[in-house]
Amino acid sequence: MSGEQASRIRVGSVGDLAPGEGRVVDAGPHTVAIFNVEGRYVALDNRCPHRGGPLGEGDLDGAIVTCPWHAWRWDVTTGANANNPAVRVACFPVTIEGDAVFVEIVG
């Protein structure tokens, strides 16, 4: 084991995001993009690896978000780049308890 500890952080409520929407949230020391993909909440690092664009501010089409800065496209369910799946953004587990949405951050 690497000694890293996971933190479970509440980032909002179920009603905060309608299907097809995303937003930027602070989750401890990380800034996370959280999306509602057809009722399923997913989270990934908000920083686009290309130039640091805010993925949570991008347009979501199905499970693909387009970075608002330079139009790089990412699958929010896997973190894979839509054009080159070998390039990835970190994803974080999301859990729902009641109406609370939690993201688990390791680090």
Taking only the tens place, the pLDDT of each residue in 51-75 is: 999 999 999 999 999 999 999 999 9
Q: Three-class SS of residue 78?
A: coil
Write down the pTM of the prediction.
0.90
Q: Which phi and psi angles does 73 have, rounded to 5°?
A: -115, 140
Q: Three-class SS of residue 15?
A: helix
* CA 71 vs CA 17, 30, 59, 67: distances in Å: 22, 23, 10, 5
Q: What is the mean pLDDT of the chain?
A: 92
Segments making up each domain of the chain, as ranges = 6-106
- CATH of range 6-106; options 2.60.120.10, 3.40.50.150, 2.102.10.10, 3.30.390.30: 2.102.10.10
